[in-house]
């Protein structure tokens, strides 16, 4: 059976949700919404260690959310699709709304 463009695929959603289910990865994505960056730039900007940044960038690459481009001695990371920023913004708004309206835990 062929999938139509508007058909929801739970497996695909879970695949992306798992990639976004880490605060450091979300912070990296938010950083990359401002353009391509090197690991060292993100390490300094986000105050995280180089091994931690590299680990999470590897996971984001595995999840097909970032691309890697080598230019001389530098490796640049960039978001694959600008819609990723919109997803993060929408999730942030939803979370704020849900938390503001909650009455119990």
5 found inside a domain: no
Given a cut of 60, is residue 53 above it in pLDDT?
A: yes
Q: pLDDT, tens digit, for every residue of 80-93?
A: 999 999 999 999 99
Task: Decide if 29 contacts 22 (C-beta within 8 A).
Answer: no
Q: Judge whether 62 lies within some domain.
A: yes
Q: What is the CATH number of the domain that holds 92?
A: 1.10.10.10
The domain tally of the chain equals 1
Domain ranges, residue 56? 11-101
Percent of the chain with pLDDT over 70: 94
- 76 falls within a domain: yes
Q: What is the strand order of the sheet 66-71 is part of?
A: 37-38, 74-79, 66-71
What CA–CA distance (Å, rounded) separates 79 from 64? 9
26 is a domain residue? yes
């Amino acid at each position: 059976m062929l999938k139509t463009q508007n058909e929801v695929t739970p497996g695909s959603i879970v695949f992306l949700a798992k990639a976004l289910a880490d605060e450091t990865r979300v912070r990296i994505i938010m950083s990359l919404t401002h353009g391509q960056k090197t690991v060292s730039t993100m390490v300094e900007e986000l105050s995280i260690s180089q091994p931690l940044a590299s680990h999470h960038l590897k996971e984001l690459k595995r999840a097909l959310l970032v691309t890697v481009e080598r230019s001389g001695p530098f490796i640049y990371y960039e978001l694959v699709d600008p819609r990723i920023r919109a997803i993060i913004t929408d999730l942030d708004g939803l979370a704020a709304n849900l938390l503001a309206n909650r009455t119990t835990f």
